[in-house]
Chain A
């Protein structure tokens, strides 16, 4: 038997692939912002909050880190409606991705906060800054700078993991690939092309984050 590769369908499919890629980018952009914000709150709460909050954050981190993202997604999308919380696919995907990413980045951000010498806080307090100002203006920027590489890796891992949300019919890159291969019967070629798109996205995202991070964090601090 012979199988010859055929990429003739590709010309008509670029629109769909581009739409899918745009949705993937949107998903990861929202997740990055919300996830980072949540993990800063989480890491700060885990260090300075009341005992009950510390415990709760600890349990949340362990539960998310020790269960598959796909199961979390199904639980949120299919499970939550039975207790009255009904989310549309896109919202469920964003929520699942954010909760998943934050569980990993809470530890990363926490490590960064620990890495900032205590003297920085003391010096800032001595200058008369309020606690919140100390955290936002002194400690956090330095912590973010330390953890930036780890944060970047986690964002890229999350972007790759977002392929899974096609399973609840969010129209991102993998979903478009599923639709295309169902129409063209060219499954291997379709997934091959889309895999390349993912590869380009992850390399581009890394570039963007590294150069953006250098600009944002390199200038203000240090």
Chain B
């Protein structure tokens, strides 16, 4: 049996944490891009398009992320795609994030006074220009705090990808625990690493929120 010192455990966990960070970033960026598309459909003029987008959002917000990941992991191979844990994890979290981000940003769009659209139209801007120049910049700026808050939620959600076999922080910690039989230390350290990743972001989201309320 391999002997693990405390520092071996820490080093291995930190190495695995890189994958947690990478997955979080990939899902956040991917979710942002797909979320923009969902947002466009969600605020479209067509009633059925809007319903479709709300259905998409309700589906992801009304089912467990773990199920979404399982469906990704077992569903995509049926379409003939060879799929590895990384792909399933990144895709699953991307769609999950897209639904939440679209809903957050939609709240920002809805919060803007109707007059902003009217003013844009009266300047002769067409729909896409209005969105790009007037509506979206303001909507993003007022939803910055919840967006950062969601990033925290996303980082924590990457823990679930360990269950479909992606080698991130939690899966590595399970392996280390099986070798060292020191669950208290190992899971305590994992919690600490997650905390160090999430807490600064939580504080940042809070400061954004405070700034928003004082303005």
Contacts and interface: CB of A to CB of B under 8 A. Distances in A.
Given A192-B71, A195-B63, A70 B191 contact: no
A41 interface: no
Interface in B82-113: none
Given A79-B183, A163-B65, A164-B66, 11 more contacts: A66-B198, A67-B191, A68-B156, A70-B160, A71-B159, A74-B190, A174-B67, A181-B74, A191-B71, A195-B63, A198-B62
Nearest to A189: B74
Interface string A1-22: 1010000000000000000000
A190 to B, nearest CB: 9
Question: Which 4 residue pairs across A and B have the least CB separation, nearest first?
Answer: A68-B159, A163-B64, A78-B183, A66-B198
Do most interface residues of chain B lie in helix, strand or loop, or is the interface mixed?
helix
Contacts of B199: 62, 66
13 contacts: A63-B191, A67-B156, A68-B156, A68-B170, A69-B156, A70-B162, A71-B194, A74-B174, A78-B187, A80-B184, A192-B71, A198-B63, A202-B62
A72 B183 CA distance: 12
Do most interface residues of chain A lie in helix, strand or loop, or is the interface mixed?
helix
Contacts of B157: 68
Nearest to B156: A68
A56 B183 CA distance: 24
B212 interface: no
Interface of B: 59, 62-68, 70-71, 74-75, 78, 80, 152, 156-160, 162-163, 170, 173-174, 177, 182-184, 186-188, 190-191, 194-195, 198-199, 202
A60 interface: no
Interface in A59-114: 62-63, 65-72, 74-75, 78-83
Given A71-B194, A75-B188, A83-B184, A3 B62 contact: no
B210 to A, nearest CB: 15
Contacts of B177: 78
A97 B142 CA distance: 32
A129 interface: no
